[in-house]
Amino acid sequence: MVMILGVDPVLVLGGTVAVALFGMLAGLVFMGIERKFAARMQARIGPPIRQPFRDVAKLLSKDSIVPENAIPCLFNMAPVLALASSIVILLYIPLGGFLPVLAGYGDLILVMYLLTVPALALVAGGFASGSPYATVGSQREMVTMMSYELPLAIAVIAIAWRLAAAGIADPFSLATIAGTASGITIWSVVGPLGIIGCVLLLIVLTWVTPAELSRVPCDTPEAETELCGGLLVEYSGRNLALFYLAQGVKTVAMAALAVALFLPWNISWFVALSPNAALAADFAFFLLKILAVIFFSVSVIRVGMARFRITHVVSIYWGYLGGLGLLGLVFMVLDAYIGGGGVL
């Protein structure tokens, strides 16, 4: 068997296919469950959980219409890039008791960069469509990206920094942060001040998630009532289906990132199980944690809030959430000094 740079290409290829299938299927299932959550909180019945599968199947059966004023190559490539980059993110994140497929070949900083690629694909597709509505939506998406990147960076880097201050090797690796191999997590390292800091950073990440996913109250780039769909106004058929799948995969990726950072515990850490039973139990528990993250960071927020104006998005994420993230970072630093977790 040929080995390239110490990597078995067959295992990597098989793992990539498995993760891609899991991301798309789980993304559609969780999107259906999330819509059901929102409907129940609004005293509605809501669509069936399988509705996203029906939507994608219907879109895949239709042709993609390319506008006359569009740039066809870029217009058709954008949804493919969005879906592919969303899947790649999952290759670097632990899924339950499973190590990332590309563990050791990318870290938290790379994941942060990859999270911007689906949004950039949306922006490129919007500009390439030639529609004035999509152009405005693309401009809003860029502003939104610049707004939530600051609190997101503070939240994730603070966790890695605190692990490094505690002397943990390879602190920017998501496998290390999630304690997949060692069982050491951020909660086992910090003291009382660090716990307060972690809670503040968790709140920040909870509010960053709907902005990353362009969900209410941060859906200003699409804003159906204002921009008729904004970025996606000219997309249809298979292209729109790919964007829909990309949103589902990115939903799973964002929730999995939150789980790895702040909810890393596995069943097998507390209950003695056989190896196969431990993997199954940990994966099932992982799915429950994903569902909990989606409920609180997507469903609850979008039901309880109205859409922000684009100026409000900037002020809230740069001002309030950025400040809250910095406060959480200060608590982490104080915890490291007082607890003796490291010397700056």
Residue 136 counted as domain residue:
yes
Q: How far apart are CA 154 and CA 152, in angstroms?
A: 5
Write out pLDDT tens, residues 123-166: 999 899 888 888 888 888 899 998 999 999 999 899 999 998 88
Query: For position 301, what pLDDT does the model report?
Result: 92
Per-residue confidence (pLDDT) for residue 23, from 0 to 100: 95
Would residue 328 count as lying in a domain?
Answer: yes
Q: Give 272-330 as a DSSP string.
A: ---HHHHHHHHHHHHHHHHHHHHIIIIIHHHHH-PPPPHHHHHIIIIIIIHHHHHHHHH
Q: Which two tokens stand for residue 121?
A: 């694909």
| Residue 133 covered by a domain | yes
Q: How far apart are the first and last CA of the chain?
A: 46
Mark residue 8 as left, alpha or beta (left: phi above 0; alpha: psi -120 to 50; beta: remaining).
Answer: beta
Low-confidence ranges of the chain (pLDDT < 70): 1-8, 181-182, 224-229, 339-344
* Residue 313 CB burial class (10 angstroms; 0-12, 13-18, ≥19): buried
What 3-state DSSP class applies to 139?
helix
| Distance in angstroms (rounded) separating the CA atoms of residues 107 and 175 | 9
Q: Which residues pair with 95 in a beta bridge?
A: 98
Does any domain span residue 3? no
Q: Return the pLDDT at 25.
A: 96
Q: Where are the beta strands (DSSP E) in the chain?
A: none
Task: Give 256-313 pLDDT, tens digit per residue.
Answer: 999 999 998 888 888 878 888 888 898 999 999 999 999 999 999 999 888 888 888 9
Q: What pLDDT is attached to residue 4?
A: 42
Counted domains in the chain: 1
Partners of 98 in the β-ladder: 95
Find out whether 180 and 97 touch, Cβ atoms under 8 Å: yes
In a domain, 1, yes or no: no
Position 2 in a domain: no
Confidence at residue 342, expressed as pLDDT on a 0 to 100 scale: 45
Is residue 193 one of the residues assigned to a domain?
yes
Q: Which domain holds residue 281?
A: 9-339
Cis preceding linkage at 118, omega within 30:
no
The sign of the CA dihedral 326, 324, 158, 148 is negative
Q: Is 217 contained in some domain?
A: yes
